[in-house]
Structure 1
Amino acid sequence: MKTIFRASLLSALVGIAGLAAASTSMAADVKWPTRPVQVVVIANPGGDTDFNARTMAKYFNQITGKSMVVTNIAGGGGTLAAEQVKGAAADGNTILFTHPGQLIVNEVAGLTEDSYEIFDVACIAGVDKSTVFVASKQSGVTSMQDLIAKSKAEPGSITYGTEMGSFSHVQGLMLEKLTDTKLKMVDGGTVSDRVVGMLGGRLDLGAITYGSVQDYVSGGQMVALGQPNEERNPLLGEVPTLKEQGLDITMDKPYVVAFPKGTDPAIVKKMADVMKQITEIPEYAEELKKFKQPVAYYGTEEAKAILAKTREDFMQFKDELRQAKN
């Protein structure tokens, strides 16, 4: 029986290797890009998603000799941008730059019936590992253990600022579930709005990119409780992971590059290859440090697996997200 299994496994691996080689050959042969490529970003200019898209576009031009034209289409939780790309010609000249907040949260929350599977996913171009759970000084919360103790003693006494039905909302729901606590979820608006709300004492807690609160943590107006990463992001200084504090919580936000369904697989593969080359450029890594972000990359099949697992993890919060959206 073991001999049959090994033979089958070897045959499968040979088959996969052959497919990979054929795919690489196809990508090398395809004539793409032949003109400027439009990348549609689901967020307004200036934020982390836009920054990652524009940095990708800069080095895409350096590698391919063709430009990437960044178009920002915010609104509808990212559905407006997704609809534009979904309806575009599948000729490789229109790309969606997005993240699970649009691709998966909207599906789970019932905002759209579409899922990431309506696109041809090329790769994960980067992963935001800069988020920290941070508490305001006025909240009196000084550590993650303190937060858990206060929340259990008085359920709902800690106000968590979020954008209801968004990725940060899922982060709060995950924290509740894995700590067996109850937070008071409040729609605090955008990241900048939530920072102001915490400084003013209206919000106690948030999951916010470290770069947006670093000065306030250094100044004592806020306390960084922990980063929800598998391992410490060294760009966040001495902020411990939640896992170091006994909480098995990781909440990465990957940036996804996808094409309209039906795009030539050779083009999809070539885009994935170009992005991998971009991540190997030292100057690219230096630029990402502006947003406290290390270099990360996942190819097509790995990206699909990550998105499938993310959807599975998020689906447990379907009822809460759908209630928040209504």
Structure 2
Amino acid sequence: MTRGPGRRAALALLAAPALARAQPAWPTRAIRIVVPFAPGGPTDVMARVVAPGLQAALGQPVVIENRAGAGGNVGAAFVARSAPDGTTLLIASTGFVVNASLFRNPGYDPVQDFAPITELGASPNTILARPDSGIASIDDLIARAKATPGGLNLANPGTGSTPHLTAELLRLRAGIEFVQVPHNSAALAVQALLSGTTQVGVAALPPAHAQVKSGTLRALALTGQARWPDLPDVPTMLELGWDGFVSETFQAFLAPAGTPAPILQRLAQETIAVLGVPETKARLLAAGFGLRPQGPDALAKRIAAEVPLWRDLIRRAGLQQE
């Protein structure tokens, strides 16, 4: 019996269902998303907004696990060491790329140890003051810092966070001093301001957004390219004449290196779909997030660009590696 192209095609069609059945289904059990910060900060908020949509799309529970410590290193290193089977994932902030230069041994390599899924969103940082501080502008802040021996105490969400480095950039360019007071999350840094522990601080916009809107905190400036839609009275540092003064806190969705490509593709596809739901988009915008769901390649490019960017600032600021 001859076995021409037609017979081979028929055999391939018959074999296809068997091959499909041979591929293990994914996911077959719960998925854990590790957030390397305490609850309440922007990365945690983003994870908890995205998780329900992913759970519905994937048909398995999606659980958020907060593993705070060492500026995000504890949680990131845990995921880097996890099995690359798509069941332990990471949603990290910009500290993920900063810590590669800030710490001698962060416990992971942001390029070698992770597979990018997609960037989720990015937010400008905001320079904040208590309304009763007498500091109503960046000029006021600089004048107060110059008049304060040793510099002002300034709350930030953690060593190596972009708010921390934003304050360092302001210190360098204005020729002033701050006593940086790091916290384990942006929510705790904002709480320090609200309680009066510090008079000024820097945070990503999401955890401070509601307080700025209500007037319980004053936003002196934002560090984005443009004013935020529902905060039209808050200027950017660029508008105030600080050329090139742009810094963002972004959220990245990542898996351990070696995670199979079909799993990464499915995660990217479903996550982008979740972020495209109008109600989700509106909720995140109102919370201070600009959405950036562009898939694995765009996130890989951002990571590759930002590692040297922050390394240069860390070197210029003379920050001690830990």
2:96 to 95, 102, 106: 102
Corresponding residue number in structure 2 for 1:225 = 220
What do the CA deviations read for 1:156-191 (whole angstroms, capped 9, x no partner)? 5433223562312212112223x3322222325354
Secondary structure of the residue that 1:292 maps to in structure 2? Answer: coil
C-alpha distance in structure 2 between counterparts of 1:52 and 1:163, whole Å: 16
Are 1:92 and 2:86 matched, yes or no?
yes
2:134 maps to a residue whose letter is: G
C-alpha distance in structure 2 between counterparts of 1:30 and 1:273, whole Å: 19
Please tell me whether the aligned partners of residues 117 and 254 of structure 2 are also in contact (alpha carbons under 8 angstroms): yes
Corresponding residue number in structure 1 for 2:308 = 312
Corresponding residue number in structure 2 for 1:120 = 115
C-alpha distance in structure 2 between counterparts of 1:86 and 1:255, whole Å: 17
C-alpha distance in structure 2 between counterparts of 1:234 and 1:322, whole Å: 34
Identity between Structure 1 and Structure 2 (%):
24
Gapped regions of structure 1 (runs ≥ 5)? 1-28
Corresponding residue number in structure 1 for 2:71 = 77
Are 1:51 and 2:40 matched, yes or no?
no
Gapped regions of structure 2 (runs ≥ 5)? 1-22
Secondary structure of the residue that 1:249 maps to in structure 2? Answer: coil
Aligned-pair CA distance for 1:309? 2.0
2:122 maps to a residue whose letter is: V
Aligned-pair CA distance for 1:308? 2.1
C-alpha distance in structure 1 between counterparts of 2:256 and 2:285, whole Å: 31
* CA 1:221–1:286: 2 relative to 1, 3 Å: closer
What do the CA deviations read for 1:175-226 (whole angstroms, capped 9, x no partner)? 223x332222232535455445445655332112456556765676643111
Corresponding residue number in structure 2 for 1:239 = 234
Corresponding residue number in structure 2 for 1:36 = 30
C-alpha distance in structure 1 between counterparts of 2:39 and 2:195, whole Å: 26
Corresponding residue number in structure 2 for 1:182 = 176
1:158 maps to a residue whose letter is: L
* CA 1:321–1:277: 2 relative to 1, 3 Å: farther
Aligned-pair CA distance for 1:315? 0.7
C-alpha distance in structure 1 between counterparts of 2:80 and 2:208, whole Å: 36
C-alpha distance in structure 2 between counterparts of 1:221 and 1:229, whole Å: 22
C-alpha distance in structure 1 between counterparts of 2:139 and 2:200, whole Å: 14
Secondary structure of the residue that 1:273 maps to in structure 2? Answer: helix
Are 1:288 and 2:289 matched, yes or no?
no
Corresponding residue number in structure 2 for 1:3 = none
Aligned residue pair count? 295
Q: How does 1:256-267 map to 2 (within 5 A)?
A: 256-267=252-263
C-alpha distance in structure 1 between counterparts of 2:127 and 2:74, whole Å: 29
Aligned-pair CA distance for 1:72? 1.9
Corresponding residue number in structure 2 for 1:7 = none
Please tell me whether the aligned partners of residues 151 and 158 of structure 1 are also in contact (alpha carbons under 8 angstroms): yes
What do the CA deviations read for 1:72-127 (whole angstroms, capped 9, x no partner)? 22223222222222222212222111112134325433241532111111111222
* CA 1:196–1:81: 2 relative to 1, 3 Å: closer
Are 1:251 and 2:217 matched, yes or no?
no
What do the CA deviations read for 1:114-146 (whole angstroms, capped 9, x no partner)? 3211111111122234x3111234543221233
C-alpha distance in structure 2 between counterparts of 1:55 and 1:180, whole Å: 38
C-alpha distance in structure 2 between counterparts of 1:192 and 1:279, whole Å: 23
2:140 maps to a residue whose letter is: D
Query: Normalising by structure 1, what TM-score?
Result: 0.78
Aligned CA RMSD, in angstroms, stands at 3.0
1:297 maps to a residue whose letter is: P
Please tell me whether the aligned partners of residues 77 and 106 of structure 1 are also in contact (alpha carbons under 8 angstroms): no
Corresponding residue number in structure 1 for 2:268 = 272
2:302 maps to a residue whose letter is: I
* CA 1:290–1:164: 2 relative to 1, 3 Å: closer
Larger Rg: 2
Aligned-pair CA distance for 1:152? 5.8
* CA 1:316–1:270: 2 relative to 1, 3 Å: same
What do the CA deviations read for 1:12-45 (whole angstroms, capped 9, x no partner)? xxxxxxxxxxxxxxxxx99543433221221223
Query: Normalising by structure 2, what TM-score?
Result: 0.79
C-alpha distance in structure 1 between counterparts of 2:220 and 2:136, whole Å: 7
Structure with the bigger percentage of helix: 1
